[in-house]
Amino acid sequence: TDKQNTNLHYYNLSLSVLQQTQGVPSLILGTQVDVTKQYLLEQANKERLLQYYTLFDSAMMDMAYLDKDGYLVNLNDQACKTLGIKDKSGLKKARLHVSGIIPLQGITPNSKEIQWTSSFNNLDEERGNGKVKFIGRSGTLYYESISLPILDKDGNLDCTYIVGRDIT
């Protein structure tokens, strides 16, 4: 609700000309719908989304967001820097599954449990085997991460956030 003025309402108005006399509207039908609740909900959602992006993108740790099926939806700039990812938008469009993302292969997708993982990755060897598609970094990477499942009100997996860091 609007804390400044609780009497403030938002409406959708619709007007239709039903009859004209010599090109001038002579009968107009109008309807109005109070959309205050929807408007305030949209504003609250926009504010939460802005807070999410501010936190996600400004984090000093690598962060990734997976959908409930374990597919990458987003990752922050710090993760791109750590892994040498140059084409963030292409990576997001590729819809990679967590099982195919080095160094996150140790994470069990669809788990409702917090998972701590660490991995040793020879990126040059993995690249030679065709397993590295977007990672520009080379050499050895020691990496640790924690996956944090987000559950809905019914206890079903909604998404997973992964926070990680290079410990090479």
pTM above 0.85, yes or no: no
Cα dihedral 137/132/130/91 (nearest 10): -130
Residue 152: count other Cβ atoms within 10 Å of its Cβ: 10
Taking only the tens place, the pLDDT of each residue in 99-142 is 878 778 888 888 889 999 988 988 888 888 877 778 888 889 89
Residue 2 pLDDT greater than 60, yes or no: no
Beta-bridge partners for 116: 146
**CA distance to 79, 91, 92, 118, per residue, from 88 (Å):** 10, 5, 6, 23
**CA distance to 95, 101, 104, 109, per residue, from 129 (Å):** 20, 14, 17, 23
pLDDT at residue 144, as a whole number: 93
Taking only the tens place, the pLDDT of each residue in 13-41 is 888 888 888 888 888 888 898 988 888 88
Half-sphere exposure of 81 (CA within 13 A, CB side): 12
